Structure 1
């Protein structure tokens, strides 16, 4: 085992922040560093996930640690407590009782007195179940707060392209004129007979920044930029053409997370949405929006001489 790593794993989720400094990454590091030094564990190496739920295993720090375990580089994994490793009792139990032993890795949870090298840890399963219950309970409480906010008519998402937060009221959206002008242009092009693919090509050729590129130019880095950041896509156009928000309305509960364990976003049926009208200044008229929906529903475009352009 000489030369192998002692993996000191730290994790903090948004929920854990409610517990204050006791669960902070800094505090976890201090506890693990001292424990490793006091007990003579060699080559301590930190793996950290900050702001990541314990019910998901899509964590960069955790995956890096597992890669080193699979490469035979790790002798021992140490966490502050069991919940730092994970709050999904089935997966956490599998890791401790099957995966780690398979790679000859010793596991220690300092505050829970768990050490796989010293005992059978009879209470381990119960502690994992409690951690899973805690995650479920926190998720339920957060969803209740989220639903109450949404039912009150407050926005549940950041401002859509064309709007920005008010400088004086963070719950109020105000028109972001440069982006709003592009939104109006997109609706006009649709009414003029152009489809999403054609509109995307026109905007790209005219050098108009995409929503992501525009956000970057305004100092709002959403982390989604890639090679396509400066090229408009048909899906982006279609998404803009379907947003009720541009009529000045708030739309809540359009999506939901599958469960507290499955962090996948799915769309709710439209009859489950809650729409609050006239909550912000509209960028387009209701007439324009309804016309575009009708055109797109029937997958046809008007003859220019047969329909009045509401932008005229």
Structure 2
């Protein structure tokens, strides 16, 4: 699958699983796309970033930079990248992964709905306790 010339132009930086052809159109690199699908599948199965890292390492799948171990940051960015809905995964998979990750968020403040309470907590975290 290739994106249209217009879609390719506005696509921006090419991420893992995609490349530009000689006409600068975005196309899917199927071997990498399979790895992206596997990462999303592992996430949706409840695996942590660390477990996904270990799985990729034991399978001998190098990171996009060619390293033996994928960093948690790279995995997190991949799982947060909406561009993968352009032919590699569907929207439902992307949003299900987003929901899964947010439910496991370690930020204790993520459930604060009151703006005043949120602002107080942000200031406390940023500035520390006031005297």
What per-residue deviation string (whole Å, max 9, x for no partner) do you get for residues 113-132 of structure 1? xxxxxxxxxxxxxxxxxxxx
CA RMSD in angstroms comes to 1.4
Could you tell me which residue of structure 2 aligns to residue 154 of structure 1?
10
**1:17-44 CA distance string (max 9 Å, x none):** xxxxxxxxxxxxxxxxxxxxxxxxxxxx
Over residues 144-193 of structure 1, what are the superposed CA-to-partner deviations in whole Å (9 max), with x where a residue is unaligned? Answer: xxxxxxxxx62332x100001023x21x2100011111000000000111
Considering only CA atoms, is the larger Rg found in Structure 1 or Structure 2?
A: 1
Shift of 1:296: 0.6
**Which runs of 4 or more aligned residues in structure 1 lie more than 3 Å from their structure 2 counterparts after TM superposition?**
none
Distance 2:57 2:41 in 1: 16
Residue aligning to 1:176: 29
Q: Which has the higher helix share?
A: 2
Residue 245, structure 1, aligned to residue 83, structure 2: yes
The equivalent position to 2:101 in structure 1, one of 296, 303, 306, is 296
Aligned to 1:284: 89
Kindly state the Cα deviation for residue 285 of structure 1 after the two structures are TM-superposed. Answer: 0.4
Partner residue, 1:200 = 53
**Counterpart among 63, 66, 69 of residue 210 in structure 1:** 63
Distance 2:88 2:104 in 1: 24
Alignment deviations for residues 191-231 of structure 1 (CA, whole Å, 9 cap, x no partner): 11101111011101110111111xxxxxxxxxxxxxxx221
Q: TM-score, normalised on structure 2? A: 0.69
* 2:68 alignment counterpart: 230
Q: Distance in 1 between matches of 2:11 and 2:44?
A: 29
Q: Does the residue aligned with 2:104 lie in a helix, a strand or coil? A: coil
TM (norm. structure 1) is 0.30
Segments of 5+ residues of structure 2 without an aligned counterpart are 1-8, 106-131
Tell me the distance in 1 between the aligned counterparts of 2:90 and 2:12: 23
Match of 1:148 in 2: none
State the distance in 2 between where 1:155 and 1:192 align: 29
Q: The residue matched to 1:212 in structure 2 has which SS? A: coil
State the alpha-carbon separation in 2 of the partners of residues 205 and 244 from structure 1: 27
- The structure carrying a bigger strand percent of its residues is 1
Separation of aligned partners in 1, 2:69 and 2:82: 24
Distance 1:154 1:233 in 2: 28
